[in-house]
Amino acid sequence: MSVVERQEWDVVVVGAGGAGLRAAVEARERGARTAVICKSLFGKAHTVMAEGGIAAAMANANEHDNWQVHFRDTMRGGKFLNQWRMAELHAQEAPDRVWELETWGALFDRTKDGRISQRNFGGHEYPRLAHVGDRTGLELIRTLQQKIVALQQEDFRETGDYESRLKVFQECTVTRVLKDGPRVSGVFAYERESGRFFVLEAPAVVVATGGIGKSFKVTSNSWEYTGDGHALALLAGAPLLNMEFVQFHPTGMVWPPSVKGILVTESVRGDGGVLRNSEGKRFMFDYVPDVFKEKYAESEEEGDRWYEDPDHNRRPPELLPRDEVARAINAEVKAGRGSPHGGVFLDVSTRMPAETIKRRLPSMYHQFKELADVDITAEAMEVGPTCHYVMGGIAVDSDTAAARGVPGLFAAGEVAGGMHGSNRLGGNSLSDLLVFGRRAGLHAAQYAAGADVRPPVHDADLAVAEEEALRPFSGDPAENPYTLHHELQQAMNDLVGIIRRQGEMEQALERLAELRVRAARAGVEGHRQFNPGWHLALDLRNMLLVSECVARAALERTESRGGHTREDHPTMERTWRNVNLLCRLTDDATGVGLDRETTDPIRPDLLALFEKEELVKYLAEEELYE
């Protein structure tokens, strides 16, 4: 009989970023006793790092904006592989989610007439990103935290206990979703500080653990992004959707080496920053793909006029979707026209007065001053692609956020797949977190309320989870988890990175298989009290599983689309438009298998939002016929 401490809740939310907190608020407001559990300190989720803003068609900066235009932009950005129902709900509900944040105390930047200000971003037809300088994620998390505290105070007034209906377990890591037969019954977790194990029992679990960037060497992502939620779902029996689509943000810092990968927000370009190569040329004009030609300026003069008069000019190509810009930078560097440290130049200094730069981009100003000793008001930044976001994720029902095939499991935020298709537009993540975080919380609470009995947690499963978590302490420490992590990051960067080739991905799968064998021998010294080596040894299971999903799906998709570029299959193929790739754990749980699935046809009224000439570029022959 296991002696691990157990607590009973209705809904457990794993992750306290934007998606997790929004889900928790909703679940608690719907009457569910809700626990939130997060690996980092409460308030220090990855969402805090979000800079540019939240995309929502509020039409504050351009009256022509509406949800239909936002839907169109999102589908174009994702190259029509998006789960279209998610893209529809997202575009329709994002404005309400932003206004709601205001009622909870968020302070957005304002227009001159006092409305929420909205800024330009790549791939968005109109200025659409509600923002707080370049610190939007911080304000989002601060507001949601404040809302949680307000709900806890309400509960205290009624029950005398702040945590009676909503409790946060911070600095605790979940290592397993527990099940009774096919249904979810709770989670197994450990406290990072003490190493103590505990169980939160609940009929509904919302996974909101964010992304996977720490499997790559150069990344904008924070330490938490080890793909835990993706792996937890996979291990619980849920499939992962389209994991080949990994976004390489075009502008990460490239120098000095210690800060390589740190993000340079897209708002730098949205606010007028331009990209130049070593010859001083604004090279993006040479990289506008056919599908976007009609929408982007042909000359620098037209592009520059667009900032003042967007209704009569086309946008500059620096504001193409991220995948296009990242590939263009990669090509310039490869052609020998890069900056001294292997990137290109991003310049605001000749485009805006110093005071405007400091006011609109305060974090960027400080980031470069302090980390690279570069004054961005006086000289150009050096930037290059960095692994930033994963579009693939847990396959969910578009309306309810329920994970496929595992009753009681829900997912929202970056860990969920489908919403962004093959490439996410900037600003569409924060809105995604709010829209689908709310939906996940709502449906998890309804599911928990409808559960006739609480699925039991079985002692045998706890024993297995404990044994798995303690394994790195047993025997000789034959393999060092830090070495394994380093080798994994190098392999993913070199072999499954921004430009992919069949032979290299096959090599990556071989490397991953070797690393998995070695990771089973990863060992640590010392004890369970705050032991980062042990934590990493446990995270390795997740990073390796998720990396295998990325490599397998990338090898299978023989075309280039969005965040998946194949040198050996350089074009986007219409026949792949309606193909989803689903990764599942193999029956013997030793690896990952892959299935193909045809997507649901896009609803005719949504297709009618596009010109036929545009659809011809994306849709397969039979889809057009229908």
Q: Is 40 in the site for ligand FAD (CB under 6 A)?
A: yes
SS3 for 53? coil
Cα separation, 192 vs 189, in Å, equals: 9
The residue from 22, 322, 439, 516 that is catalytic is: 322
Residue 253 contacts residue 244 (beta carbons within 8 Å):
no
Q: Which member of 28, 30, 33, 39 binds ligand FAD (CB under 6 A)?
A: 39
Q: Is 38 in the site for ligand FAD (CB under 6 A)?
A: yes
Q: Is 414 in the site for ligand FAD (CB under 6 A)?
A: yes
Closest CB to ligand FAD among residues 430, 509: 430
Closest CB to ligand FAD among residues 73, 504: 73
Cα separation, 214 vs 485, in Å, equals: 9
- Residues 6+ positions from 376 with CB-CB distance below 8 Å: 348, 349, 357, 361, 364, 365, 368, 369
Q: Is 77 in the site for ligand FAD (CB under 6 A)?
A: no
Residue 327 exposure: Cα atoms within 13 Å on the Cβ side: 23
| 508 φ/ψ angles, rounded to the nearest 5 degrees | -60, -40
**Burial of 157 by CB count in 10 Å (0-12 exposed, 13-18 middle, 19+ buried)?**
exposed
Q: Which member of 43, 52, 239, 392 binds ligand FAD (CB under 6 A)?
A: 52
- Say how many residues make up the chain: 626
Closest CB to ligand FAD among residues 465, 508: 465
Question: Which residue, 567, 530, 411, 535, is CA-closest to 469?
Answer: 535
Min dist CB 528 to ligand FAD, Å, is 16
Q: Is 367 in the site for ligand FAD (CB under 6 A)?
A: no
Closest CB to ligand FAD among residues 39, 564: 39
Q: Is 553 in the site for ligand FAD (CB under 6 A)?
A: no
Window of 8-16, 335-343, 451-459, 594-602 that interacts with ligand FAD by CB under 6 A:
8-16
Window of 373-381, 422-430, 462-470, 567-575 that interacts with ligand FAD by CB under 6 A:
422-430
Closest CB to ligand FAD among residues 409, 509: 409
Q: Is 418 in the site for ligand FAD (CB under 6 A)?
A: no
Q: Is 389 in the site for ligand FAD (CB under 6 A)?
A: yes
Closest CB to ligand FAD among residues 15, 186: 15
H/E element, 201: strand 197-201
Amino acid at site 581: L
- Sign, CA dihedral 488-490-494-497, equals positive
Residues 245-304 that bind ligand FAD (CB under 6 A): 263
Q: Is 427 in the site for ligand FAD (CB under 6 A)?
A: yes
Amino acid at site 238: A
Q: Which member of 83, 117, 118, 173 binds ligand FAD (CB under 6 A)?
A: 173
Cα separation, 78 vs 432, in Å, equals: 14
- Residues 6+ positions from 300 with CB-CB distance below 8 Å: 282, 285, 316
Q: Which member of 28, 33, 46, 176 binds ligand FAD (CB under 6 A)?
A: 46
DSSP per residue, 233-300: HHHHT--EE-TT-EEEEEEEE-SSGGGTT-B--THHHHTT-EEE-TTS--GGGGG--GGGGGGB-SSH
H/E element, 400: none
Closest CB to ligand FAD among residues 224, 479: 224
Closest CB to ligand FAD among residues 39, 528: 39
- Residues 6+ positions from 79 with CB-CB distance below 8 Å: 421, 422, 423, 561, 562, 572, 577, 618
Q: What share of the chain is helix, strand, coil (3-state, %, to 5)?
A: 40, 20, 40
Amino acid at site 434: L
Cα separation, 544 vs 416, in Å, equals: 18
Q: Which member of 241, 372, 433, 495 binds ligand FAD (CB under 6 A)?
A: 433
Q: Which residue has the tokens 């169980």?
A: 199
Q: Which member of 10, 27, 28, 51 binds ligand FAD (CB under 6 A)?
A: 51
Q: Is 14 in the site for ligand FAD (CB under 6 A)?
A: yes
Check if 314 is active-site.
Answer: no
Window of 105-113, 206-214, 299-307, 354-362 that interacts with ligand FAD by CB under 6 A:
206-214
Q: Is 209 in the site for ligand FAD (CB under 6 A)?
A: yes
- Give the residue nearest to ligand FAD (CB): 17
Q: Is 186 in the site for ligand FAD (CB under 6 A)?
A: no
Strand 240-241 vs strand 579-585: parallel, antiparallel, or unpaired? antiparallel
| 66 φ/ψ angles, rounded to the nearest 5 degrees | -160, 175
Number of residues near ligand FAD (by CB under 6 A) = 41
Q: Is 118 in the site for ligand FAD (CB under 6 A)?
A: no
Amino acid at site 497: G
Residues 210-239 that bind ligand FAD (CB under 6 A): 210, 220-221, 224, 228
- Active site (catalytic) residues: 322
> Contact residues for ligand FAD (CB under 6 A)?
14-20, 37-40, 45-47, 49-53, 136-137, 173-174, 208-210, 220-221, 224, 228, 263, 389, 413-415, 426-430, 433
